[in-house]
Every structure is written in structure tokens, then in C-alpha cells.
Amino acid sequence: MKIIGIVGRAFYNKDNQKIIQINEDIRKFFAEEDVVTVALLPPQNRYYVETKMGMDQLTEIDRKKLDSLLDLCDGFIIPGGTYWYQFDEYVIEHAIKKDKPLLAICLGFQALCSMFAKERTKFDMTTRITNEDHYGDSSKYIHNIKINENTLLQDILQETEIKVNSVHHDIVNFELKNLKISALSPDNIVEAVELPEKKFILGVQWHPEYLVDENSKKIRQAFINKL
């Protein structure tokens, strides 16, 4: 049985309690497949939700704990959310180093892109967008994307253009190194990226788990096939 690790998202609830959770739509997205999903949580005894970097004081013991957990996983999901942390990047680095499948969604896509920014001057490099065409009902198609030729995404979908949902406030508007752009929106916003020469490192700006159409299922199956 293959194991998929999903990075937990940290936030405060209405009672001001610190919570780390997995979105139920992500769990359900993979529940009907022959895989097991597990939550990936920071190993150190710190307030993860309060420190953007999250792992700047990672001890050798903490690192061994985390590496042991990640070694058990056959693939990884970096999900959407409000903020990403150095923890997300640690998982992404592990997936790339070990050549394990990774699907980065929305915020996870932005984290992946930020790691490959040509000139990275700060941790969070995304820029706020005001175009309402990129933020709408997650259960509905919002805009089209054009899929670039000779990309992993085109190989998976066998399409040159598809409709997607869109629920994001920030965009990637910086130059990338090593990452290949897989798709663009009509207004030239980067919508998907991939890392060539790895078996499956794919980032998408939309949410395939919220609108599970045939294209979402194809992405899911392609990811699972590489586990």
C-alpha cells in the first residue's frame, strides 16, 4: 500500500486555539484510491503557526524524526492555504532529492515556485492580485488555461486548453530557474509548473480536489501511477 504525506495547514480557530489540519477535500480526493494518506506535522516543540519560517531552530534530533517520517512516504501533497512555512519547503526538497512524486496545489504551487525564483530575496515572493477572474467559487469553472506543448501536464491531460476553478489572491510574477512553465491563464498568469528530469514534480494554481472533473482525475491518477 502506497503512502501519501499531506502537509498540515496551521491556523487559529474562532476560540484562538492553535490548529493544524488537513482539508477534508484533499483527503476525500484520494480516499477512493488504493492509497493511504497521512498528515505531515512539524517535529519540533515550537509554535508553528506563529513563525513563518517554522524550522529555523530545527535540531538534529528533530531532523532525524522528520526524515524518518518522510522516508515512509511514497509521495507528497503540498496543499492550498493562507501561509506556507519552511516546513513545506523541507518536504519539497525531500521529494526532489529522493525523486518522489509531489503535487503542489495553489499555495503549495506558490511555495514551489518561490523556491525556484531566479532572484530570491525573501521567503514569500508572491504578489497580490486584484483581478477577480482568479478568485471565485471553488466548485465552478472560473477561467481557461492554455497548456504548453511538450510538458508533463500535456502528457497527462492530452489537451491544449482546459477550464479550471480558481481560488487565489496571490500570483507568481517572477522569473523562474529550472522549473518549466506548463500552463498560463488568458492574462498570462502562471498556472502550472513542473520540474524536468524528475518523475513527477507538478504544481498547479487551481484546486483539482475541489472540482473533481475528468482532468482532475487524470492528474490524480498520473500522480498515483508514479508512487
Backbone phi, psi, residue 4, to 5°: -110, 120
Confidence category of residue 205, pLDDT binned at 50, 70, 90? very high
Q: What are the chain's domains?
A: 2-225 (3.40.50.880)
Q: Mean pLDDT throughout 92-116? A: 96
Report how far residue 160's alpha carbon sits from residue 131's, in angstroms, rounded to the nearest whole number: 24
Confidence category of residue 163, pLDDT binned at 50, 70, 90? very high
- Contacting residues for 157 by C-beta, under 8 A, at least 6 apart: 147, 215, 218, 219
Which tens digit of pLDDT belongs to each residue from 48-89?
A: 776 655 556 677 888 898 999 999 999 999 999 988 888 899
- Contacting residues for 132 by C-beta, under 8 A, at least 6 apart: none
Report how far residue 118's alpha carbon sits from residue 77's, in angstroms, rounded to the nearest whole number: 24
Confidence category of residue 126, pLDDT binned at 50, 70, 90? confident
The helix (run of H) or strand (run of E) holding residue 102 is strand 102-105
What is the reported pLDDT for 135?
Answer: 82
- Grid cell locating 48: 508553528
204 and 163 Cβ atoms separated by less than 8 Å = no
